[in-house]
Structure 1
Amino acid sequence: MHRYFVIPRPALQPYVDRLWGWESACAPTMPLLLPGTGAELMFHYRAPMAIDGVRGRRDLGAAYLLCARRAPHQPVAQGEVGFVSVRLRSGALRHFCPLPALALGDDAIPAADIWGAEGAAIAERVALAPDTGTRIALLQDWLLTCLTRYGKRQPAIELAVRALYYRHREVRIDALAEQLGMSRRHFERVFREQIGLTPKAFHRTARFHLTVRDLLLGGDGDYLAAALDHGYYDQAHFIHDFQGFVGRAPARFLQTATPAAHFYNPPIFAPDKVPLPR
């Protein structure tokens, strides 16, 4: 089994956390993709994986978007594994996509259903590429083309996303809307249109995502300390949230989660060092 990641080109770093890949000569048990505020855009060059999600198990072809918001998605290996995935940052999908964010949330969607013939073409080119370096270069070239075509200059939304994600412990939505010069109602409408979630739902999802990331990376299983550190009121509050997102208790999930194989990784940049869009 071989896993790797690549730091994206500087122009992509405000939007893409990493490009990463996994190769295996067998069909391994893949980690569960839990709800979060980012997205995974996966390209297979060996046997494509099926996805168990809110619409049951589906075969989505060689390239697809995973955008888990309210329920987990389970990739299911169906043979020899080989894929490259683009890990998009919180709220970044809208900069690369012709469809509105509200049409993409909490689903797994074939690339061709989003980008049409262009999506099918880049999936085929990645599948036929001779090596990892070529696949990574093809994907970054394509992402930059999408960014030029679909990228949105919305400083207020960028600031709101970063505040709700990185400062989720102390941020208040009313104060954030006022800081951005908007009424709360207007802020909620604009944010939901662009991100696909209300500010409150995004804030709740970010808190859950970051708490679980710390638990999986820390490996000590002390979910109460991690939950309190991320702003949960008490153990019952975190358990209720976790069950709502995952459908099982956190203790049960953490007993079976494999620390070395999941969709969480240490951040490449500290929160205050993540590049801002230019």
Structure 2
Amino acid sequence: MDERDSYRERVTHRIPRGIVAEATARTMFTLTRHPPAPPLDEFVEYHWILRWDRRGRPPHEQRVLPNLSVHATFFPGASGVYGPAHDVFSHRLTGRVQGLGVRFRPGTFRAFLGGPVSDIADRAVPLTDVFGPAASAAAESVQNADGDAQMVGAIDNLLIANPRTLSPAARAAAAAVESIARDPGIIRVSQLCADTGLTTRSIQRLFAEHVGVPPKWAIRIYRLNDAAQRLVTEGDPDYAGLAVRLGYSDQSHFIRDFRTVTGQSPTQYARAAEPDSDRT
């Protein structure tokens, strides 16, 4: 298996994307995903490109469930480096816009940040704070690009211009997150420790430094994104059975966790996921 095959295999694992009400969202914008240039495979899961045109139509408020990735975004009025979050992200779509985001592989962004990723959890910092003055020119290139390839090329060049290497600790952190992504049976930190061979204390320090959130929260994010996907595909499932399949001890615990992360009950979330032609 070559490096590109390894990349393709990795990004097919459970990656929490969490676009709320995705069926409706597809009528509001177009989304494409693109692999990074080969030198960035260790750092970048993919580039995502959004385009929308709301001219003459009401603005749309798009919500996205929290995930573990750091995202660097190149959008007019919404450029920045966004750390891993505990809350639903919301963005108001107005006018005609195109932009690109970089989804970094959890555990790897410290190489660019130069400090603990927990420092940027639940907040955003300017692109130039992390990538220097060249980030402004790259953002302008994205806005003026004629197509996806030009947009991706501009950002790949920005990231490649200052080569980074992953430390052994960063590799261990990324591997720990991939253990969670690969195995839905990991529902407790003790199980993650057994899988990685690390102590609870060591894995907590590793996640604070390189992932930005505690390992318990990381596991919860994957479980609840799984739940959100099942609610979309199954509609109104047996919640008690769903809770058991996701490793919860009881239905009430699952519903409480789900509401904490999404701001909605499972029933409300499933109803919001139904297509609504009147929202255009």
TM-score, L = length of structure 2 = 0.73
Q: 2:235 and 2:164 mapped to 1: Cα distance?
A: 44
Q: 2:238 and 2:106 mapped to 1: Cα distance?
A: 23
The equivalent residue for 2:229 is: 213
Residue 135 of structure 1, CA deviation: 0.9
The within-5 A match list for 1:15-26 is 15-26=43-54
> Cα RMSD over matched residues?
2.9
Q: Aligned pair in 2 of structure 1 residues 98, 150: CA closer, same or farther (>3 Å)? A: farther
Amino acid in structure 2 at the alignment position of 1:220: G
Residue 211 of structure 1, CA deviation: 2.4
Amino acid in structure 1 at the alignment position of 2:68: T
Aligned length: 243
Q: 2:212 and 2:275 mapped to 1: Cα distance?
A: 30
- Identify unmatched segments of 5+ residues in structure 1: 49-60, 261-278
Q: 1:254 and 1:75 mapped to 2: Cα distance?
A: 21
SS in 2 for 1:149: coil
Would you say 1:97 and 2:128 are equivalent positions?
no
Match for residue 3 of structure 1 among 25, 28, 31 = 31
- Identify unmatched segments of 5+ residues in structure 2: 1-28
The within-5 A match list for 1:63-142 is 63-142=79-158
Q: 2:71 and 2:125 mapped to 1: Cα distance?
A: 11
The within-5 A match list for 1:132-171 is 132-145=148-161, 148-149=163-164, 151-154=166-169, 155-170=171-186
The equivalent residue for 1:256 is: 272
Residue 161 of structure 1, CA deviation: 1.6
Q: 1:201 and 1:228 mapped to 2: Cα distance?
A: 19
Q: 1:11 and 1:223 mapped to 2: Cα distance?
A: 45
TM-score, L = length of structure 1 = 0.74
Q: Aligned pair in 2 of structure 1 residues 113, 182: CA closer, same or farther (>3 Å)? A: same
Would you say 1:184 and 2:189 are equivalent positions?
no
Asked whether the equivalents of residues 62 and 93 of structure 2 are also in contact (C-alpha less than 8 Å), the reply is: no
The equivalent residue for 2:60 is: 29
SS in 2 for 1:206: helix
Q: Aligned pair in 2 of structure 1 residues 145, 169: CA closer, same or farther (>3 Å)? A: farther
Q: 2:160 and 2:200 mapped to 1: Cα distance?
A: 34
The equivalent residue for 2:217 is: 201
Q: Cα deviations across residues 136-170 of structure 1 (Å, max 9, x unaligned)?
A: 11112223345x23643433323222223332423
SS in 2 for 1:32: strand
Q: 2:272 and 2:196 mapped to 1: Cα distance?
A: 43
Q: 2:88 and 2:262 mapped to 1: Cα distance?
A: 6
SS in 1 for 2:63: coil
Q: 2:191 and 2:95 mapped to 1: Cα distance?
A: 51
The equivalent residue for 2:252 is: 236
Asked whether the equivalents of residues 79 and 126 of structure 2 are also in contact (C-alpha less than 8 Å), the reply is: yes
Residue 107 of structure 1, CA deviation: 2.0
Percent identity reads 26
